[in-house]
């Protein structure tokens, strides 16, 4: 990785061609969990998915790529540390920088580390190297990517086998997510992304949000969206949402997450998801038949 930048490597190897990655047995799957806008619940969703997959018997590594504003450790109630920088500077080995909880492993990032600000090494290259060196140890590697359109985050998202784009029902989240998907498609050749809707208050709102975003992608980009489902809106403070999502196994949010993971693992990668928690009576949010929708409609049809 030292002689080429990450983008050149990605383009030459076409690692991100989704059609070459489905239903391949005995391999590690990498998933970038990303968003165009901050504050959509991406980190909470990343932790929850990693935890649920680990509880189902998969070996999971969650990498916090928000390299100097890490929230994964904070949400899990773990001490803040500089392990990521210590790994970057070869002060510690990989295994010494990991928080382990059964099948769930976390490589958390730093918080306000001055040395990270002055580091000009391509962090996308470093994360790719880490993934390559340790992928045989895991069934899934999840990247909690920072929101926005940084080149490093885009390169890593393109490198991963799959991208879960987390979107909430507001104008800025929808338009920023469309910009993210557009650049991934037009600059990096990404032809497929997965859409996860968060803080959805009704089926009608869910359907309008999917319509506003997925049909515009279908009509104006050479890629498609796979809709994973939605997580319901909780009219509570953020900490309460995290408690429901990360700890309360009986909550509606937890059951919807199980549905999202089951839909992805069984449909997209052809592997089983054995969690048998009773989901009877829980609403299922599914895609609808698309029709023509213009870019201008994306701006107008978001009064949800």
Question: pLDDT tens digit string along 23-35?
Answer: 344 579 999 999 9
Indicate the pLDDT class of residue 112, thresholds 50, 70 and 90: low
Q: Is 70 exceeded by the pLDDT of residue 283? A: no
pLDDT number for residue 275: 75
Highest mean pLDDT of the ranges 6-10, 18-22, 223-227? 223-227
pLDDT number for residue 68: 65
Indicate the pLDDT class of residue 13, thresholds 50, 70 and 90: very low
Q: Is 90 exceeded by the pLDDT of residue 301? A: no
Indicate the pLDDT class of residue 248, thresholds 50, 70 and 90: low
How many Cβ atoms are within 10 Å of 4's Cβ, its own excluded?
Answer: 12
* Residue scoring higher pLDDT (248 or 165): 165
pLDDT number for residue 74: 85
What is the Cα–Cα distance from 256 to 85, expressed in whole angstroms? 36
pLDDT number for residue 167: 95
Indicate the pLDDT class of residue 277, thresholds 50, 70 and 90: low
Domains observed in the chain? 6-300 (3.40.50.300)
pLDDT number for residue 45: 92
Q: How far apart are the first and last CA of the chain?
A: 45
CA 168 centroid distance within chain: 14
Residue 294 tokens, joined:
């213009």
Mean pLDDT along residues 214-219: 89
* Residue scoring higher pLDDT (238 or 44): 44
Cα distances (Å, whole numbers) of residue 232 to 52, 75, 244: 18, 20, 11
Dihedral angle of Cα 214, 254, 54, 49, to the nearest 10 degrees:
30
Whole-structure pTM value: 0.82
92 Cβ contact list (under 8 Å, min separation 6) = 83, 86
How many Cβ atoms are within 10 Å of 98's Cβ, its own excluded?
Answer: 17
Residue 197 tokens, joined:
């809707």
pLDDT number for residue 46: 94
Compute and round to an integer the Cα radius of gyration of the chain.
Answer: 18
Q: Is 60 exceeded by the pLDDT of residue 124? A: yes
HEC per residue, the chain: CCCCCHHHHHHHHCCCCHHHCCCCCCCCEEEEEECCCCCCCHHHHHHHHHHHHHHCCCCEEEEECCCCECCHHHHCCCCCCCHHHHHHCCCCCHHHCCEEECCEEEECCCECCHHHHCCCCCHHHHHHHHHHHHHHHCCEEEEECCCCCCHHHHHHHHHCCEEEEEECCCHHHHHHHHHHHHHHHHHHCCCEEEEEEEEECCHHHHHHHHHHHHHHHHHHCCCEEEEEEEEECCCCCHHHHHHHHHCCCCCHHHHHHHHHHHHHHHHCCCCCCCCCCCCCCCCCCCCCCCCCCCHHHHHHCCCC
Highest mean pLDDT of the ranges 156-170, 230-244, 270-284? 156-170
Q: Is 50 exceeded by the pLDDT of residue 156? A: yes
Q: What are phi and psi of 120, to 5 degrees?
A: -105, 5
Strands 99-101 and 104-107 come out as antiparallel
CA 113 centroid distance within chain: 24
Residue 64 tokens, joined:
């916090």
What is the Cα–Cα distance from 35 to 175, expressed in whole angstroms? 11
pLDDT in tens, 40-76: 989 999 999 999 999 999 999 999 988 767 788 888 8
Residue 295 tokens, joined:
């870019």
**Cβ atoms 160, 79 nearer than 8 A:** no
Question: CA nearest 109: which of 61, 52, 70?
Answer: 70
pLDDT number for residue 289: 40
């Amino acid at each position: 990785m030292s002689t080429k930048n990450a983008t050149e490597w990605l383009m030459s190897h076409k690692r991100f061609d989704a059609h070459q990655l489905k239903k391949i047995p005995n391999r590690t799957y990498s998933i970038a969990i990303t968003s165009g806008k901050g504050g959509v619940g991406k980190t909470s969703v990343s932790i929850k998915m990693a935890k649920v997959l680990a509880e189902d018997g998969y070996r999971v590594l969650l990498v916090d790529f928000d390299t100097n504003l890490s929230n994964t450790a904070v949400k899990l109630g773990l001490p803040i540390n500089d392990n990521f920088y210590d790994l970057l500077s070869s002060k510690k080995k990989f295994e010494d920088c990991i928080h382990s909880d059964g099948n769930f492993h976390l490589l958390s990032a730093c918080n306000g580390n001055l040395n990270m600000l002055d580091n000009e090494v391509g962090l996308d290259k470093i994360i790719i190297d880490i993934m390559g060196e340790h992928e045989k140890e895991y069934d899934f590697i999840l990247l909690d990517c920072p929101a926005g359109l940084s080149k490093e985050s885009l390169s890593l998202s393109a490198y991963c086998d799959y991208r879960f784009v987390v979107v909430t029902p507001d104008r800025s989240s929808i338009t920023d997510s469309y910009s993210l998907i557009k650049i991934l498609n037009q600059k990096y050749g990404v032809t497929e992304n997965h859409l996860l809707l968060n803080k959805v208050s009704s089926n009608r709102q869910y359907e309008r949000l999917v319509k506003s975003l997925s049909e515009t992608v279908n009509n104006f980009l050479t890629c498609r969206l796979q809709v994973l489902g939605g997580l319901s809106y909780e009219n509570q403070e953020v900490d309460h949402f995290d408690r429901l999502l990360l700890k309360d196994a009986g909550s509606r949010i937890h059951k919807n997450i199980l549905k999202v993971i089951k839909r992805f693992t069984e449909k997209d990668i052809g592997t089983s998801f054995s969690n048998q928690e009773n989901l009877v009576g829980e609403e299922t949010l599914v895609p609808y038949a698309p029709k023509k929708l213009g870019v201008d409609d994306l701006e107008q049809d978001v009064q949800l």
